[in-house]
Amino acid sequence: MIDISNLSKRFGAFAALDDVSLRITPGKLVALLGPSGSGKTTLLRILAGLDHADGGAVQLNGLDAGTLKTRDRRVGFVFQHYALFRHMSVADNVAFGLKVKKGPDKPNKAQIAETVGQLLDLVQLTGLAGRYPQQLSGGQRQRVALARALAVEPRLLLLDEPFGALDAQVRKDLRRWLRRLHDDMGLTSVFVTHDQEEALELADEVVVMNKGRVEQVGSPADIYDNPATPFVFQFLGNANRLDAVVRGGRALVGPWTADAPDIADGPAVAFVRPHDLDVVPGGDHAIIRHQVVLGPTVRLDLVLDDDITAEAIIDRESHARLNLRTGDRIGLQARRIAVFAAP
Ligand code: ADP
Ligand code: MG
């Protein structure tokens, strides 16, 4: 178990981490998700023992991490930019953590060679042991970095935007592959990303960060279906933000009303996902300003009353059936509206 309690970290007057508490269960793949500057790397570096917090504590299996030597923490680290040693072969890169071991744990040459061979098989780079980093593709280099991190049999694997610099397709492949590796090896992993799709696809648990604080922790489905704050709703993308007015537990949101049981009367803010808007024939809620075909769906760029803009996404079949044209007036039904107190 990794227990992070009330962690804070300042750089001058700036709070990079502000009272962060979090518990990481062994065996889980956890995503730290947040915009650039939200404190993800800072938190990861403190977990790795590369940096010290100003306040709070990290406990690894009940032991204060601050008292453990970096070597005894058994933490593997993979950075965004494949920080391989350029002048070392793939095999030497992977062997690095083994060669620097000291004392009775220090493996001999034959043992190192065997482990390196196994790790290269594992990351599907069999036969490339003699190559140098510049003779590899980006995806291959990142897998070497991962093999190097795994060589020390980490208790905890930390990955900081490990696929950030790679092409979309390679990224996708490596994501799935990392998920399998994590499961097969029984790792505990913490993975930093600013890409919500990556976090939702890959993680068991998503920690959404904003301005050095944890906004929400939950399963990907939880985070997507029940965003706890306006920030989470907007950061997960694909949300129409609308002004609302609450009266007696009901909110007026554009042409709709929604339950708002715990929100005080007055101005509020509401979110509707484009997928949760259905077009109803014959209604008069919006004008279609623009239509964009996106693979199996069509995005409708809409203008509601009072010049409010919104997007709806419907499937191609419904679109064809409804025979929608740019400039048409349409009715809209909102299947789900989330209302929050005005920030
Ligand atoms: P993220 O990884 O979420 O993009 P970081 O943890 O790298 O965010 O940084 C959080 C904030 O702390 C940023 O605003 C960054 O500029 C600041 N910061 C990080 N490291 C340092 C440092 N060594 N000195 C000064 N400011 C820093
Ligand atoms: Mg970062």
* DSSP code string of 174-233: HHHHHHHHHHHHT--EEEEES-HHHHHHH-SEEEEEETTEEEEEE-HHHHHHS-SSHHHH
pTM: 0.89
From atom 20 of ligand 1, which residue's Cα is the shortest distance away? 42
Q: Measured from the CB, is residue 76 less than 6 Å from ligand 1?
A: no
What is the structure's pLDDT at 129?
94
CA of 36 to the centre of ligand 2 (A): 6
The values of phi and psi at residue 238, to 5°, are 55, 55
pLDDT, position 123: 85
Nearest ligand, CA of residue 20?
1
- Could you please report the per-residue DSSP string of 46-99? HHHTSS--SEEEEEETTEEGGGS-HHHH-EEEE-SS----TTS-HHHHHHHHHH
44 lines ligand 1 (CB under 6 A): no
Is there an atom of ligand 1 within 6 Å of 40 CB? yes
For range 5-32, the mean pLDDT: 96
pLDDT at 66: 75
Task: Return d(Cα 259, Cα 295) in angstroms, integer.
Answer: 34
Over residues 122-133, the mean pLDDT reads 91
Give the distance (Å) from ligand 2 centre to CA of residue 207: 14
C-alpha–C-alpha distance, residues 130 and 92, integer Å: 9
Q: Using a 6 Å cutoff on CB, does residue 36 contact ligand 1?
A: yes
Whether 170 contacts 177, CB under 8 Å = no
The alpha-carbon radius of gyration of the chain (Å, integer) is: 25
| Closest ligand to the CA of 161 | 2
Pocket lining: 139 vs ligand 1, CB cutoff 6 Å: no
Q: Which pLDDT does position 82 carry in this prediction? A: 59
Closest of 116, 105, 37, 120 to residue 71, by C-alpha: 105
Distances (CA, A) of 221 to 75, 154, 200, 226, 340: 29, 29, 8, 8, 20
Percentage of the chain beyond pLDDT 90 is 71
Q: Which helix (H) or strand (E) is 149 found in, with range?
A: helix 138-150
The CB of 38 under 6 Å from ligand 1? The reply is: yes
CA of 51 to the centre of ligand 2 (A): 14
Q: How far apart are CA 279 and CA 2, in angstroms?
A: 48
Bridge partners (DSSP) listed for residue 236: none
Mean pLDDT value across residues 287-295: 96
| Greater model confidence, 203 or 1 | 203
CA distance 106 to 45: 26
pLDDT tens for each residue of 250-284:
999 999 999 999 899 999 999 999 999 999 988 89
Quick check: CB of 45 below 6 Å from ligand 1? Answer: no
The residue among 140, 142, 176, 172 whose CA lies nearest residue 159 is 142
Residue 81 clears pLDDT 80, i.e. is over it: no
Q: Judge whether 198 and 225 are in contact, CB under 8 Å.
A: no
**What is the pLDDT at residue 72?**
73
Q: What is the mean pLDDT of residues 39-44?
A: 96
Ligand 1, atom 21: closest residue by C-alpha: 11
In whole angstroms, give the CA distance from residue 80 to residue 70: 21
Pocket flag, ligand 1, residue 207 (CB < 6 Å): no
Task: Summarize pLDDT for 135-188 with one digit per residue, the tens.
Answer: 999 889 989 998 998 888 888 999 999 887 778 888 888 888 889 889 988 999
Reply yes or no on whether the pLDDT at 35 is more than 70. yes
pLDDT at residue 126 is higher than 70 = yes
Provide the token pair at 128. Answer: 């490339």
Tell me what the mean pLDDT of segment 25-49 comes to. Answer: 95
